[in-house]
Structure 1
Amino acid sequence: MGSMMVLTIFFPSIIVSLLITIDTVFSSVKKVFLNKILQLILIILLYFTYLFCLLSLSVHLLGAVYYEYSLILFIAYYFFRSYGKYLILLTPFLLVSYSKLIDLRVVVSYDQLFMIALLIFSLFVVIDWLPFGWRNLKFSVLFILSMLISAYFHLQEVGTSFFTENSGTIVLLITGSLVILVSFYLYFSLQEKGNARIREELIASKIDRLTGVHNYSALSDMIEFLKEHKQVITVAMLDLDHFKKINDQNGHLVGNEVLRDFVQLLEAHLSLYLDKNNVEIYRFGGEEFCIFFYDSSKNSAYKIIEEFRAKIETYPMGVGMTDGVSITFSAGIENTINQTDILETLKKADEACYIAKQSGRNKVVIYHNNYQ
């Protein structure tokens, strides 16, 4: 009974407490140390320390190593998406080091330790690649499968059958994993709600008078906010095609009406797919707009914008002042998963928009590294 409580409640609670500490400390590291190489070195040293604490507690409380990949999976998926997954491959080296330094009893062979890391790393890459955007569900599957992969190798060394003699431990591990996931998601959800409230207050009064969306000043403030509060954001840059011709042929008043109609249609379209707290529209410049999709994949954003592009290309704009003006737009999309900061993401989304315009306009393009 005591081991069951430790494996399913107490130890998972300790892991969640470590994760909250990691989130706080890593955020401070990113603020204080701006050099990316130095950040990486400090993060590795901190991970080394946190993993040592986790393993020591595991051996002391449970008499064996459990949940050894729990910290790094959260770090890789929620805190450092760009390079965190490679720290998974560092974990077996740390385990070997600990086994020599503190006489940590690791029941599996060193070859098996590296096999576990390779399997979990491969699983991470495959699940992260899947196109659907249910972020927490994807991670839940990844986390539980990873805990079972690790348990399989460890328990095989002490039992004859993974699914019979060790079935009770397997159930406890799955239960403990769910406790970790639910507890972290509650913490993460509260954080995201707090960030959403701050974002809303930050930009509430900075509205573009013509279109009613957030203005460039609000975008600048949001960029500064997001530098400190890392979130998964997909950025779409939209630029109306040949808008100068509309102004030249119909006058600027008609051009203004077209911009208002375009934004109203865009807002209505986005509301079909997203809650208002998960998307923001900014007027970037004259006829250029920037959209932030929170916690959405590039593919999801692409489908939404592409559907809107097809919807409006024959839709008459400015009907109140003319017989109707047809417009199209070009768009570029990128997200923050593989970027060091939001400014780099904006730059690459703008580059993709430029590619769309250069290749014939009236297109939506997702940024790829081979554009460089």
Structure 2
Amino acid sequence: MWTTILDIGTLSTMCIGLGLSLLTILHFHDATQLKEWYFVPVIIFLPLLYSLLSVSKLVFGYVCLYFLLAILVYHYMNRKFGRLYFLLSVGVIIGYLSIVERQISMSLVLLICVNGILVYLATMAVDHFNISKLLKTALSAIVMLGLERLSGYFVPRHTPFTFKATMISAIALLIVLAVIHYFYVYLTKRQAMIDELTHKANVDELTELYNLYHLHQDFSLEQINKTMLFIAVLDLDHFKQVNDTYGHTMGNKVLKVFAEQIHQYFIRELGKNNFTLYRYGGEEFVVAIKQLKGTPIRELFAQLQVEINQINIDDLVEQLSFSAGVACLKAYHHDPLKAFEAADRLLYAAKKAGRHQTIVEQIC
């Protein structure tokens, strides 16, 4: 009795530890780094699977639950990695058995390959069901366990088919799935909290545009800097006067409408992927332009000025306008901070010259 409990505890604890480790690492794996896209997941998977095979060999005298990690990853994390892990599992199992048993028969190799294919097909089919991840994983695991038991009929020395072994495997599997699912729910909630905090840290609450913190983050990324053509700094004219005359509520409303109009204008004229808009200060905005669509930069801002002039806000008598400075990245060897400083100087030159205008750097 105690031996059975110990076997269940040993097998389930090992599977839980390996599953949690694998899911955690993959959850935070940076898929944008192409050089590490497959390298890291493969490197971490191989020793984890080897550990699972070793423990099951220790408990039963043969390997079992060997596709469990692939099933967990397929349903809970990433289908691409799940498919890769099914393929790797077959190779690792064959290699492991070749080491511990010195040599293995072709019938056993064929059996492992067939098992891998059938479990993968079952996992892929179950994934289309409109049920929870826990039930999908459980159904896939049941198929895996059933095929492992059937293997005992074909290669008895590899998988002795006993009721005790089946019971230990099934109970351990239930414990593992319950813990993994609970951990996944916890991980999802924590990630949602992190995403919310990240959003608040990077996005201006009033305008829903990227803020100064996000601007400095973007400007530090070399791959982004090389794609930018222009940096412009815009300032809403006489905003302090609006605040003093109408109050902060109206001031916030004017800022929000101004930001929305700018954003919609650049989406229409440039496309949403060809620019990034930031709120820099109280009434200042920064736009990083990646590509123009035929319209010269001066004409682009001149037309924006016309549209801003036409904004009508209830109870606001003054006509809205802006001042802006535009600098070219190529003039500063694609250094966004230097280009930003130049655009900021041009902005103040535009304000000093009477506002309601855009000064574009001559080299542009």
Q: TM-score, normalised by structure 2?
A: 0.51
Residue 65 of structure 1 aligns with which residue?
63
Shift of 1:52: 1.3
Residue 280 of structure 2 aligns with which residue?
none
The 5-angstrom pairing of residues 15-164 of structure 1 reads 15-26=15-26, 30-31=29-30, 35-103=33-101, 109-130=108-129, 132-154=130-152, 157-158=155-156
2:32 matches 1:4: no
Contact 2:73 2:81 in 1 (8 A): no
Count of residue correspondences = 221
Distance in 1 between the 2:62 and 2:192 partners? 41
Residue 176 of structure 2 aligns with which residue?
180
Residue 314 of structure 1 aligns with which residue?
none
CA 1:187 to 1:91, structure 2 compared with 1: closer, same or farther past 3 Å?
same
Write out per-residue CA displacement over residues 218-238 of structure 1, whole angstroms, 9 at most, x where no aligned residue: 9x98xx9xxxxxxxxxxxxxx
Write out per-residue CA displacement over residues 113-139 of structure 1, whole angstroms, 9 at most, x where no aligned residue: 111001011111111123x15222222
Distance in 1 between the 2:34 and 2:149 partners? 35
2:190 matches 1:201: no
Give the letter aligned to residue 4 of structure 2. M
Give the letter aligned to residue 150 of structure 2. Y
Contact 2:70 2:86 in 1 (8 A): yes
Residue 341 of structure 1 aligns with which residue?
none
Shift of 1:61: 2.7
Shift of 1:9: 2.4
Give the letter aligned to residue 101 of structure 2. D
The 5-angstrom pairing of residues 219-230 of structure 1 reads none
Distance in 1 between the 2:98 and 2:142 partners? 29
CA 1:104 to 1:184, structure 2 compared with 1: closer, same or farther past 3 Å?
farther
Give the letter aligned to residue 53 of structure 2. L
Distance in 2 between the 1:17 and 1:184 partners? 9
CA 1:153 to 1:88, structure 2 compared with 1: closer, same or farther past 3 Å?
same
Write out per-residue CA displacement over residues 78-127 of structure 1, whole angstroms, 9 at most, x where no aligned residue: 23323422321332222111222343787961111111001011111111
2:193 matches 1:191: no
Give the letter aligned to residue 152 of structure 1. L
Following superposition, which runs of at least 4 residues in structure 1 exceed 6 angstroms of deviation?
104-108
Contact 1:3 1:62 in 2 (8 A): no
Contact 2:74 2:81 in 1 (8 A): yes
Give the letter aligned to residue 72 of structure 2. F
Shift of 1:179: 0.4
Distance in 2 between the 1:133 and 1:204 partners? 33
Contact 2:108 2:155 in 1 (8 A): no
SS in 2 for 1:129: coil
The 5-angstrom pairing of residues 249-328 of structure 1 reads 286=264
Q: Which runs of 5+ in 1 are unaligned?
A: 225-255, 257-284, 289-320, 322-372
Contact 2:76 2:184 in 1 (8 A): no
Residue 356 of structure 1 aligns with which residue?
none
Contact 1:7 1:173 in 2 (8 A): no
Give the letter aligned to residue 8 of structure 1. I
Distance in 1 between the 2:126 and 2:193 partners? 31
Residue 279 of structure 2 aligns with which residue?
none
Distance in 2 between the 1:17 and 1:187 partners? 11
SS in 1 for 2:80: coil
Give the letter aligned to residue 77 of structure 1. H
What percentage of aligned pairs have identical amino acids?
A: 13
CA 1:216 to 1:178, structure 2 compared with 1: closer, same or farther past 3 Å?
farther
CA 1:182 to 1:104, structure 2 compared with 1: closer, same or farther past 3 Å?
farther
Shift of 1:37: 5.0
Give the letter aligned to residue 120 of structure 2. F
Residue 166 of structure 2 aligns with which residue?
170
Contact 1:116 1:149 in 2 (8 A): yes
Higher mean alpha-carbon deviation, 188-197 vs 101-110, is at 101-110
Distance in 2 between the 1:82 and 1:8 partners? 31
CA 1:35 to 1:200, structure 2 compared with 1: closer, same or farther past 3 Å?
closer
Give the letter aligned to residue 111 of structure 2. Q
When the two chains are superposed, the root-mean-square deviation of aligned CA atoms in Å is: 3.9
CA 1:46 to 1:204, structure 2 compared with 1: closer, same or farther past 3 Å?
closer
Shift of 1:18: 1.3
Higher mean alpha-carbon deviation, 85-94 vs 110-119, is at 85-94
Question: Which of the two has higher C-alpha Rg?
Answer: 2
Q: TM-score, normalised by structure 1?
A: 0.50
